[in-house]
């Protein structure tokens, strides 16, 4: 009897060695929003994952119902710092739909331009994060250095780096003067050259391929079943892009194409974004070329109180389809605001499918590859299904694990 | 006598390599990406010996952005308690300083200085990376005064 228990003890010890006992180290600057994943493990293999969001819930929809339409532009802008432009513009579009008005041609071009600049900076940010997560800090530094050129352009155009405050109801707040156009074109040329380099890098580098090809598969049928949107869906071979499907602003008149990849894995998701950068640069060039020939009017007058009605606006954010719904009640405050953001769908539904049967060391790259708009993943709880033990690890540990795998 | 010299050396070294932990507590994460830009080549915090850390137990300076939501408040307290002394706290952005646009939202329990002592405030929505860098250097000065480093 005693011998057996000794054996059992040894077994338990063995198991204990397999589980992870690490210091609780919550935050990480990589993911910007706090969020908690419960990862169930069998040894090193992921069995299941629980996503626990809500750390950043601020009650924005309720807040918007207490502010007037003009104040709400700035609240909408502050939903997300990375997608700030698209949020405020979709909101403005929604209010314009409530009123049934159209905005001047020049304002449309300026809005398109700012949106594409934002897509550029968001995609560059993403590429840097991917480099960082597979343990290649050089890639991260390179990409973020180039991202600064995009930030410079945004600052030239709007005066701000993150919350641009460009749109307003009925138009835009600032004009783009002609004299900054040549310098912007120059920067775009530089960015195009750099992106070509990244395209080769992410397509050919042996380490990157080993870490991302075939990792985190998201089958096409699941994408369709769970209505996953944006670049994540496009990387699984689903042709879905609001800019093409329901053209808004100037996208219908410009020359560009939707990028679709068939890979279904992390590498495909990265490639979609790299190729979209080229498309964005081309759209930007077309906008800049058109701007000087347009009428200088950038704003139409709008009334502050809106009669009772309802409206919806859909746009393509850098991460997928963004929907705003508004209901007015005759005053200057909305009766109801509803926002559906792309990341929510992508994170909640796709993570459990992609992470199943994967290695723990691949978790950061898989999570990063859907470009989650939760940053600062606070920490994860690992549950070993054999011993039922709960251990908590931090991102540093995961990153170290990932780095070891890259070598 | 010897102890004092030893202390001095430790303090000198500590001032030359502040390890920072960044924690976003529920703003729009605009401040977070700007804080992150501070690590990258154009602003390059490593000029001052700074290094970004994920673990509060390894870090000296906390950079906190965002209005504090109710769900994250206890976590934030724990991060603060886990950071070893001497430490400094920097509140980045109007959200952390005064709750900013979210001042009357129902799920916010900030501002930050009701929850923990704050040494340096960096205003802006979001502040530019240069401003965050300056805040960091200010924090080093505050640190030196408080702990006689
Ligand atoms: S201060 Fe402004 S930019 Fe910073 S987190 Fe708050 S809303 Fe976002």
> Is A81–B126 a contact, with Cβ atoms under 8 angstroms apart?
yes
Give the lowest-confidence range in A28-37, A45-54, A109-118, A185-194: A28-37
Say how many domains are in chain B.
1
Please tell me which of the candidates A25, A81, A394 has its beta carbon nearest to residue B33. Answer: A81
Ligand 1 pocket by Cβ (under 6 Å): A 78, 81, 162-163; B 27-28, 30-31, 65-66, 93-95, 100-101, 125-126
Main-chain dihedrals φ then ψ at residue A161, nearest 5 degrees: -95, -35
Tokens of B51: 């290094």
Full residue range of the structural domain in which residue B76 is found: 18-145
Which chain B positions have a beta carbon within 8 Å of A333's beta carbon? none
Cβ(A229)–Cβ(A321) under 8 Å? yes
pLDDT of residue A209: 86
Strand ordering across the sheet containing A334-340: A309-317, A320-328, A334-340
Asked whether the predicted pLDDT for residue A202 surpasses 50, the reply is yes
d(CA A105, CA A155): 22
CATH number at residue B35: 3.40.50.12280
In a domain, B3, yes or no: no
Residues 6+ away with beta carbon under 8 Å from B17: B49, B50, B51
pLDDT in tens, A130-171: 888 888 888 889 999 999 999 999 998 888 888 888 889 888
In a domain, B4, yes or no: no
SS3 A227: coil
For ligand 1, mutation pick of A33, A81, A164 (most atoms within 8 Å of CB): A81
Higher pLDDT, A127 or A14: A127
Q: How many CA atoms lie within 13 A of B103 on its CB side?
A: 6
A161 C-alpha vs ligand 1 centroid, how far in Å?
12
pLDDT in tens, A304-320: 888 899 999 999 988 88
Which chain A positions have a beta carbon within 8 Å of B126's beta carbon? 81, 161-163
B74 C-alpha vs ligand 1 centroid, how far in Å?
21
CB of A22 less than 8 A from some CB of B:
no
List of chain B residues with pLDDT < 50: none
d(CA A136, CA A130): 9
Q: Output the pTM of the full model.
A: 0.85
In a domain, B47, yes or no: yes
CA-closest residue to ligand 1 atom 2: B125
> Is B35–A26 a contact, with Cβ atoms under 8 angstroms apart?
no
Residues 6+ away with beta carbon under 8 Å from A277: A120, A123, A124, A191, A195
> Is B101–A78 a contact, with Cβ atoms under 8 angstroms apart?
yes
Please tell me which of the candidates B30, B40, B69 has its beta carbon nearest to residue A58. Answer: B69
Window 38-57 of A, Cβ < 8 Å to B: 54-57
CB A65: neighbour CB atoms within 10 A? 16
Sign of the dihedral defined by the CA atoms of residues A165, A168, A171, A173, in that order: negative
> Is B57–A125 a contact, with Cβ atoms under 8 angstroms apart?
no
Cβ(A231)–Cβ(A368) under 8 Å? no
> Is A151–B37 a contact, with Cβ atoms under 8 angstroms apart?
yes
Q: Domains in chain A, please, with CATH?
A: 6-56+354-406 (no CATH), 60-340 (1.10.645.10)
pLDDT of residue B132: 92
CB of A64 less than 8 A from some CB of B:
no
Asked whether the predicted pLDDT for residue A76 surpasses 90, the reply is no
> Is A161–B52 a contact, with Cβ atoms under 8 angstroms apart?
no
Please tell me which of the candidates B28, B36, B69 has its beta carbon nearest to residue A79. Answer: B28
Arithmetic mean of pLDDT over chain A: 79
* Ligand 1 atom nearest residue B29's Cα: 5
Alpha helix positions (H), A134-180: 137-158
d(CA A79, CA A343): 12
Tokens of B63: 């950079």
pLDDT in tens, A351-397: 778 877 777 777 777 777 777 664 323 333 344 444 444 444 555 55
d(CA A27, CA B21): 8
* Ligand 1 atom nearest residue B31's Cα: 4
């Amino acid at each position: 009897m005693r011998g057996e228990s000794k054996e059992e003890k040894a077994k338990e010890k063995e198991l204990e060695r397999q589980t992870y006992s690490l210091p609780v180290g919550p935050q990480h600057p990589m993911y910007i929003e706090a969020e908690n994943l419960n990862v169930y493990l069998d040894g090193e293999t992921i069995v299941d994952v629980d996503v626990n969001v809500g750390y950043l819930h601020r009650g924005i929809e309720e807040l918007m119902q207490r502010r007037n339409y003009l104040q709400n532009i700035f609240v909408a802008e502050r939903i997300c710092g990375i997608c700030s432009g698209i949020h405020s513009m979709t909101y403005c579009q929604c209010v314009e739909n409530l009123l049934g008005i159209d905005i001047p041609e020049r304002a449309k071009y300026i809005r398109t331009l700012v949106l594409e600049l934002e897509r550029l900076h968001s995609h560059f940010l993403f590429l840097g994060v991917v480099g960082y997560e597979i343990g290649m800090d050089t890639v991260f530094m390179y990409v973020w250095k180039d991202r600064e050129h995009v930030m410079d352009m945004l600052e030239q155009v709007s005066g701000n780096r993150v919350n641009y405050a460009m749109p307003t109801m009925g138009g835009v707040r600032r004009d783009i003067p002609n004299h900054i156009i040549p310098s912007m074109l120059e920067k775009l040329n530089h960015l195009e050259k750099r992106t070509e380099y990244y395209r080769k890098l992410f397509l050919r580098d042996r380490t990157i391929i080993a870490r991302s090809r075939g990792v985190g598969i998201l089958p096409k049928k699941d994408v369709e079943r769970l209505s996953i949107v944006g670049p994540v869906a496009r990387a699984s071979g689903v042709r879905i892009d609001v800019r093409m499907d329901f053209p808004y602003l100037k996208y219908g008149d410009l020359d560009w194409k939707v990028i679709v990849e068939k890979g279904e894995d992390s590498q495909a998701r990265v490639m979609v974004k790299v190729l979209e950068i080229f498309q964005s640069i081309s759209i930007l060039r077309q906008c800049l070329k058109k701007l000087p020939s347009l009428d200088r009017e950038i704003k139409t007058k709008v009334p502050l109180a809106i009669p009772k009605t309802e409206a919806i606006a859909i746009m393509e954010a850098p991460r997928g389809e963004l929907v705003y719904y508004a209901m007015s009640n005759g005053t200057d405050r909305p009766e109801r605001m509803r926002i559906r953001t792309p990341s929510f769908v992508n994170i909640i539904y796709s993570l459990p499918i992609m992470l199943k049967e994967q290695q723990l060391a691949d978790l950061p790259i898989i999570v990063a590859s859907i470009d989650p708009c939760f940053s600062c993943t606070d920490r994860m709880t690992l549950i070993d299904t054999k011993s039922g033990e709960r251990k908590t690890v931090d991102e540093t540990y995961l990153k170290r694990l990932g780095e070891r795998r890259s070598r | 006598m010897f102890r004092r010299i030893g202390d001095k050396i430790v303090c000198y070294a500590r001032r030359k390599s502040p390890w920072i932990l960044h924690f976003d507590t529920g703003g729009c994460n605009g401040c977070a990406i700007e804080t992150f830009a501070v690590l990258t080549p154009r602003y390059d915090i490593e000029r001052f010996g700074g290094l970004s850390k994920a673990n509060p137990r390894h870090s000296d300076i906390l950079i906190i952005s965002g209005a504090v939501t109710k769900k994250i408040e206890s976590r934030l307290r724990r991060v603060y308690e886990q950071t070893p002394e001497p430490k400094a706290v920097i509140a980045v952005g109007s959200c952390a300083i005064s709750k900013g646009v979210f001042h009357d939202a129902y799920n916010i329990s900030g501002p930050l200085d009701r929850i923990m002592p704050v040494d340096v405030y960096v205003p802006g929505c979001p502040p530019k990376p240069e401003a965050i860098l300056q805040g960091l250097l200010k924090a080093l000065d505050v640190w030196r005064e408080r702990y006689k480093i």
